Amino acid sequence: MMMLLAGNIVALVASGAVALDLSARMNSAQHLQNAADAASLAGVVVWVDTADETATRAKVAEMTEQNGVDRPDIVVDVTFVDSTTRRLSQST
């Protein structure tokens, strides 16, 4: 009976550790996604206002840094598809 109880306790502790690890990974992934969303939104706002690629890249880098993304394995890249289109047309 003691061996069965010991085995169950080990299994319970191991599954708890796995659950904590998965939760931490999901939290980290969500934080990175939120930082990417904030940086891209800030970049779009600067791009629409100025159409300046340098200012847009600087704003994206600034927002990325402000949101605590300072891991060396993450590369921030800004790609401009069309430098002539700045605003969406809106019909009333």
Nearest-CA neighbor of 40 among 68, 84, 76, 69?
76
Residue 74 lies in a domain: no
**DSSP E strand stretches across the chain:** none
Tens of pLDDT, residue by residue, the chain (92 residues): 889 999 999 999 999 999 999 998 888 888 888 888 888 888 888 888 887 888 888 888 888 888 877 777 777 777 777 655 554 444 44
> Number of folded domains in the chain?
1
Residue 21 within a domain: no
- Is the pTM higher than 0.75? no
Domain-embedded: residue 63: yes
Per the domain annotation, does 18 fall within a domain? Answer: no
SS3 of residue 91 by DSSP: coil
The verdict on residue 11 lying in a domain is: no
Q: Is residue 55 a part of any domain in this protein? A: yes
Range of the domain at 40: 29-67
Any domain includes 92: no
